[in-house]
A and B are shown apart, each in its own frame.
Chain A
């Protein structure tokens, strides 16, 4: 194996895109992933990382509305793209319904996988306003959580979906107190 001594990076690359609805221009090393650009160059540390190999879903963000693994997207590849991170999920003082229900039901325990789950779920609800439990499981099957056992996450997604459909939904008694 040849030495991995890095060659001096010939300058930083400029990336122009929108992040959470705002146009940004950033200079970053060309080999940096979107994850690194967001956290280190755009100072948006809400996007987390658990493996950097596409094996956990923690770093999920939306690129042009699609949930992707930001650890496997180059920052440079996002030129012109619209990126949404957890920091941009709510506009104004009110939380997004998913953020609200995740908080309400304790679907965020340690909170580390939460940004990825929120963004994946947001895209699901935009696509499927009334998802079944099976739809939710399938959509979230690329996000690992070690705290919750997913159940409170499912309930939070269902509750948010109902509220986003305009229903005056409340958590079931069983999900809070048990049977």
Chain B
């Protein structure tokens, strides 16, 4: 049986306690929320914390508040994906987020995994998400224990993929993420929460805790999320398209088209976004936006499915997401 390495397990009940425990543990300490990402990784020796600090006992992280009468909705980072996607206010006002959360892995995993955990999901790669023994067989990779990136051996950086379903959505929605650290609280726009680097993939410092996601109030915007993967369950996205538009008098006033699972961060394709502004998402506009998204898309050999096909699918899925937005408007 594949087992966890030994570690000390701490169960704080307040953020204050959690921060203190992390300060005591230093770099040997890691936070865990649902455990659905960290524990498999620890079993494969990706992360090897000596102290694991559970955030599961902190009630403050599990609330969903606001979201009525045009106010912003605040979702605690500790809300499970099941609770997130089945919450009435999320379903009513933030359908794209509900869809993304419901498309994560399996019902069982969503009962455990949290919103915050999904946003902080470790980047993934076929050369990395393997056992210690397997990685030894390829002399490891630079993300853990090795020197080179097998996806692009001449590259100085790691190309592991951000495979979160909710990340492109919160970026597209323009959400604000609340972080609490030893120096207090700070808020970052979702787009600035992620780095385009497979190893250093979050701007969150290791001792900070993601506590809350503030989703903007409804003011004429709409959003959808479309996910591509081999199977209807279990699988991480090989492509996620979060498309957000703000309508003004039947015209798109603002737009954000954010792609998941194609880079180490949720990647906003600004050309594609710009292509739809001022339009009513007519066919030719959608086609132009899809083409804009397709052109720079350069999937790497680090997920399921073939590269050329995944690139092709960018066009198809951006088109479908925009058609979906148009249909919802009608």
Contacts and interface: CB of A to CB of B under 8 A. Distances in A.
A54 B232 contact: no
Contact of A7 (B6, B35, B140, B233): B6
B9 interface: yes
A58 to B, nearest CB: 10
Contacts of B234: 55, 141-142
Given A1-B132, A141-B233, A72 B107 contact: no
A73 B80 CA distance: 14
B5 A4 contact: yes
A39 B103 CA distance: 31
Contacts of B44: 53
B4 A142 contact: no
A142 B43 CA distance: 20
A74 interface: yes
Interface residues of A, number: 36
Chain B contact residues, majority secondary structure: loop
Contact of A1 (B1, B39, B145): B145
B293 interface: no
A33 B3 CA distance: 8
A60 B108 contact: yes
Contact of B111 (A7, A55, A67): A67
Interface residues on B, range: 20 to 34
Interface string A25-63: 000011111001000000000000101111101001000
A60 B110 CA distance: 13
A98 interface: no
Contact of B106 (A13, A49, A79, A142): A142
Specify which of B11, B35, B45, B54 lies most central, judged by the most chain A CB atoms within 10 Å of its CB: B35
A138 B82 CA distance: 13
A95 interface: no
Contacts of B300: none
Contacts of A36: 1, 3
Given A52-B2, A53-B43, A69 B107 contact: no
Interface of A: 1, 4, 6-7, 9, 13, 29-33, 36, 49, 51-55, 57, 60, 66-69, 72-74, 76-77, 79, 120, 138-139, 141-143
23 contacts: A1-B45, A7-B6, A9-B6, A31-B9, A33-B4, A53-B43, A54-B105, A54-B108, A54-B109, A67-B108, A68-B108, A72-B36, A72-B112, A74-B35, A74-B39, A76-B9, A76-B11, A77-B35, A120-B108, A141-B232, A142-B105, A142-B109, A142-B234
